[in-house]
Amino acid sequence: MNEQIATIQSQALELIAAASDERSLDDARVSVLGKKGSLSLAGAAIKDVPKEEKAAFGQSLNAARTAITSALEEKQIALQEIADRAALAGIDPTLPGRSLPTGALHPLTQIRDEAIQILRRMGFALADGPEIEDEYHCFDALNTPADHPARNEKDTFYFNSGKLLRTHTSSVQIRTMETAAPPIRIIAPGSAYRRDEIDATHLSVFNQLEGLYVDTDVTLPDLKGTLEYFFREMFGTSTEVRFRPHFFPFTEPSFEIDVKLQIKGQAPRWIEVAGCGMVDPAVFESINATRKDNALCPESVTGFAFGMGLDRLAMIRWAIKDIRLLIENDTRFLSQFA
């Protein structure tokens, strides 16, 4: 029996040495060590070996298995080295490595995240709402009359169903006040849609961030202080901020906010970035009618609201002269923010 094992070992080593690829090496392994391999079948015959010879037979069997396994591993390493050399054939390993471009968040995403962080530190919570809205949440509840220009098809994208693409994220304010009771302090970043003429400072699809604070004794100085703090945190303590009286149907008094844009080689100029004001009591009354309670009684609560264009904030932060650069997906432009 020991002679049989020696013969099997010798034949196995020859098969392994002759293997030219991984497949032939695996065939050699199976033919010897597989379930029906020659060494496995020889080992199964140990039951027929006389008792006094079993120990010696077992030692020979184990020695053969160890030698064959070692030969298989060495051959595997040798074949892998051959394959590696073939894969590197024609490649000059002394050439310098090729640099990979660095990825980064889009500048609009960066400015949105930073704006959220600043306002979250001031106690504002995130809120969300649908981009396809109805006229009640987009206009009626916001005290916008039926003949207001914003409700014209020339200014707003309408569907045949009568629904529309929201013209501002102010609709999230209404949806929040419909379900929550004061104190309310939320921000709502998201897309808005208007039929604006596309130019260096206007897009038909833009990114807005809405804010709302409703509680007892909320005042105009609270609004002014909140937004001045926000813009100076965003752009630096020397940032020039200007409040201009304006009119919005849903706030009274109302203001537009400008921040001075300074681009190298150009004269500084004011650019509008936000609208704001104290929530009009008519808005509270409309929502109370929907809620069927008096949780937002205008005699008990006050509030302020603001909405800012994130695209405009990005223009000021990085002195971008044309808002269209933010949507053209030109990697030569976007790589500056990586």
Residues of the binding site for Mg(2+): 252
Task: Taking the CA atoms of 39, 43, 44 and 45 in sequence, report the sign of the dihedral they define.
Answer: positive
Q: How far is it, in rounded angstroms, from Cα 184 to Cα 177?
A: 8
Nearest CA to 72 among 40, 39, 28?
28
Using CA atoms, how far residue 100 sits from 7, 91, 96, 287, in Å, is 57, 19, 13, 54
Contact 309, 231 (CB under 8 A): no
How buried is 12 (Cβ within 10 angstroms: 0-12 exposed, 13-18 middle, 19+ buried)?
A: buried
307 near 294, Cβ under 8 Å? no
Q: How many CB atoms lie within 10 A of CB 61?
A: 21
Please provide residue 264's backbone torsions phi and psi, each rounded to the nearest 5 degrees.
-55, 130
Instruction: Tell me how far the alpha carbon of residue 260 is from its chain's centroid.
Output: 30
Neighbours of 206 (CB within 10 A): 20
- Is-cis flag, bond preceding 183, omega within 30? yes
Q: Which residues are annotated as a binding site?
A: 252
Place of tokens 């629904």: 163
Longest Cα pair distance anywhere in the chain, in angstroms? Answer: 111
